[in-house]
């Protein structure tokens, strides 16, 4: 065993929180998919299902404010959802707050901001992605 590494189930293992995914519709035409905890291959089926459902009839905003880890499978899911949104003439964006430095670095290294908008706050993202009211 590598120093500072624990056996599975050892004390302190609760630090590795399996990811949770929730979907909300704060405005007509906008779905917010929020990720909490750690996300990797083990949570991809749940994430993919949520992203697909969210994008069926609306723009999609993915909030990573409570996400502590994500791997390349999550990046792949974000890219797929972004492409699907563009194909439907919908919007797509991601929230990565400054306190999630690990996720910000990952987004920077993979140049995600060149593919879709990356916002630092949920409030800013909601303003940018919320559908505008039709004018008469």
* Cα 83 from Cα 135, distance rounded (Å): 29
pLDDT in tens, 84-124: 999 999 999 999 999 999 999 999 999 999 999 999 999 99
Residues 93 and 117: beta-carbon distance below 8 Å: yes
Torsion of CA 18, 19, 20, 22, to 10 degrees: 180
Domain boundaries, the chain: 30-127
Residues 65 and 122: beta-carbon distance below 8 Å: yes
Q: Which CATH class is domain 30-127?
A: alpha beta
**Token pair of 46, please?**
């749940």
Residues found in the chain: 136
Tally Cβ neighbours within 10 Å of residue 95: 25
pLDDT in tens, 34-82: 999 999 999 999 999 999 999 988 999 999 999 999 999 999 999 999 9
Instruction: Say if residue 135 is exposed, middle or buried (CB neighbours under 10 Å; 0-12, 13-18, 19+).
Output: exposed
Please tell me the pTM assigned to this model. Answer: 0.84
């Amino acid at each position: 065993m590598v120093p500072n590494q624990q056996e599975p189930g050892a004390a302190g293992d609760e630090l590795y929180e399996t990811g949770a995914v929730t979907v909300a519709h704060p405005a007509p035409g906008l779905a917010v998919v929020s990720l909490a905890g750690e996300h990797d291959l083990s949570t991809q089926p749940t994430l993919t299902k949520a992203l697909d459902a969210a994008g069926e009839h609306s723009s999609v905003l993915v909030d990573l404010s409570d996400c502590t880890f994500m791997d390349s499978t999550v990046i792949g899911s974000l890219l797929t959802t972004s492409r699907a949104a563009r194909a439907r003439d919908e919007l797509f964006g991601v929230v990565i707050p400054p306190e999630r430095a690990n996720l910000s670095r990952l987004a920077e290294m993979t140049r995600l901001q060149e593919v879709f908008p990356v916002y630092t706050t949920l409030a800013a993202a909601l303003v940018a992605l919320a559908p505008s009211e039709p004018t008469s």
